[in-house]
Structure formats: structure tokens, C-alpha cells
Amino acid sequence: MIDLGIYNNKINWALKDKQEFIDIIGTVYRKARKCRGLIIAPKDYSTKYYY
């Protein structure tokens, strides 16, 4: 889960590499500029541990 609110920014799992973090931040930035309330991640993290 990613919780990005006012003064409450956290990612509660370990990221494997820098590019994964950059993809998440880029998606959040692009959608936030369009005033979107719900943002869909570029990767499905709900099945992360099944790979």
C-alpha cells in the first residue's frame, strides 16, 4: 500500500531497484497534476510474493 497524503508519505514494502521507485513516483506525479484522487500503480503489487 502506498499512502500519499499531507505529511503522511509511506511505502510499506521493500523496492527491488531504483527504476521501480522512479516508475511509482512518475505515475503519482502525472496523475496528481491532473487532480486524480485514485491512482493505479504501473505494476500489480498484490501478487508480488507469488512470482
Other Cβ atoms less than 10 A from the Cβ of 24: the count is 19
pLDDT digits (tens, 9 = 90+) for 15-49: 778 888 888 788 878 877 777 677 776 666 666 55
pLDDT band at 1 (very low <50, low <70, confident <90, very high): low
Stretch 3-26: mean pLDDT = 74
Cell of 27: 505515475
For residues 16 and 8, the model is more confident at: 16
- Show me where the domains of the chain are located: 2-50
What pLDDT is attached to residue 15? Answer: 74
Burial (Cβ within 10 Å: 0-12, 13-18, ≥19) of residue 1: exposed
What pLDDT is attached to residue 39? Answer: 72
